[in-house]
Amino acid sequence: MDFNLDETQQEIKGLAAGVLAREAAPERLEAFEKSGAPYDEAAWTALGRAGLLGLVLPEDAGGAGLGPVELAVVLREVGLHVAPVPAYASLALAAVPIAAHGTADQRALLAPLTDAATVLTGAYREVGPAGEIAATARKDGDGYVLDGVKTFVPYAREAARILVPARVEGEGVGVFLVEPAAATITPQPSATSEPLSRVALNGVRVGPGALLGGTADGAAWDTLRRSAVAGAVAISSGVIEGALELTKEYTKTREQFDRALAQFQAVTMQVSDVYIAKRALDVAVWSGVWRLAEGADDAEELLTIASYNACDPVIKALYTCQHLHGGIGLDVTYPLHRYFAWGKHCGHLLGGAEDRLDALGALIAQEA
């Protein structure tokens, strides 16, 4: 199994790294955090101008028509630079399912995204286990009436549309494109600067053109769910790499008892533990998105393994990074706190370690 990126993917990685190294430099992040803005518009625009937002969009929307691996490359760089942009929400939670299942009119919503002229998002989570759908949609004339509550929806107020999965009586799970103004949106606490919201659907009526692809057979929901997990674990993979690089540099230069911290065996062993957690997640992420790109049956199992690693070993590794930094690891003037917050943020979106183990156990039981 070869986990090396091909030439095109390497070029995408280099381009994304270059753009974000400039647009998400530490001084830029500090200025953004003081601004109170929901996201860094300059960085978001720079990603659009570089063509990075259009990579996974269909060609008829002005995109390149690439797939899950290329999306993971971009989102991993977003995590590595902890860049405050709505890339995960717009691409993984919205653009991927719209591109795969949308009608011509629905796919037209993606065109402005290539230039960062819009924001889209998806309501992946509800109260309870990740992936469970309690929200309902009942037919009403030629449209539908939606009821239910979605949680941890990123950029709900800023989005042009929110993708809302709901159960349609007598059919299956459909995904509906809902305008934010039609729902009741309440801010929720977030570990990062990213705005999260509770989205209440109290009898929200939508027209027939709001149902993604015009069908409620569960296919669009499956795509959204898998893309949501793939995107979150890719970001987490970048986050732990960024935290590890900071920790390595700190332990090589910080001295105690006239010796660099990195020269102490106990420190070296703890840094090695962080590296192992990072590599375990990397392997699961790349194998998962590769199998997703291939349409393989085991893609969901691999992504679930990756999500468990993001929720447990990687979170523990981030604690280790903080511990090795001592007091400075908790100082908000030092960049490590951003990586810790982003890692916890991804863990919450994915549902937590126990939820991920339950999901993995259910998948294994299906195969037995």
For residue 64, give the nearest of 116, 121, 106, 8 by alpha carbon: 8
Rounded CA separation 8/51 (Å):
13
Buried b (16+ CB within 10 A) or exposed e, 69-94: bbbbbbbbbbbbbbbbbbbbbbbbbb
Q: What is the pLDDT of residue 330?
A: 81
Residues 284-311: what's their mean pLDDT?
96
What are the tens digits of pLDDT across the range 309-342?
999 999 999 999 999 998 888 888 899 999 999 9
Q: Is the pLDDT confidence value at 203 over 90?
A: yes
What pLDDT is attached to residue 154?
97
Q: Residue 122: what residue type?
A: G
For residues 298 and 218, what is the distance between their CA atoms, to the nearest angstrom?
Answer: 18
> Is a pLDDT exceeding 70 seen at residue 302?
yes
With a cut of 80, say whether residue 130 has pLDDT above it: no
In the chain, alpha helices (H): 7-23, 26-35, 41-49, 68-80, 87, 96-101, 104-107, 219-253, 265-294, 299-311, 313-325, 336-350, 353-367
Work out the percent of the chain whose per-residue pLDDT is above 70.
99
The pLDDT tens digits for 152-161 are: 999 999 999 9
Q: How confident is the model at residue 170 (pLDDT cuts 50, 70, 90)?
A: confident
Q: What band does 176 get if pLDDT is binned at 50, 70 and 90?
A: very high
Which of 129, 146, 139 has its CA nearest to residue 199?
146
Average pLDDT over residues 76-81: 98
Q: Rg of the Cα trace of the chain?
A: 20
Average pLDDT over residues 133-162: 96
Q: Per-residue pLDDT tens for 36-69?
A: 999 999 999 999 999 999 999 999 888 999 999 9
Comparing CA positions, the residue from 196, 293, 278 lying closest to residue 236 is: 278
Residue 1 is predicted with a pLDDT of 60
What is the pLDDT averaged over residues 130-138?
Answer: 90
Residue 131's pLDDT is 74
Taking the mean position of all CA atoms in its chain, how far away is CA 136?
25
Cβ-contact 281, 243 below 8 angstroms: no
Distance between CA atoms of residues 350 and 233, nearest Å: 8
Phi and psi dihedrals of 189, rounded to 5? -60, 145
Sign of CA dihedral 246, 247, 248, 250: positive
Question: What is the reported pTM?
Answer: 0.96
Contacts of 37 (CB under 8 A, 6+ apart): none
pLDDT value for 329:
82
Please classify residue 43 by burial: count the beta carbons closer than 10 Å to its beta carbon, then call 0-12 exposed, 13-18 middle and 19+ buried.
Answer: buried
pLDDT (tens digit per residue) in 226-263: 999 999 999 999 999 999 999 999 998 887 777 887 78
pLDDT of 50 reads: 97
Residue 286 has pLDDT above 70, yes or no: yes
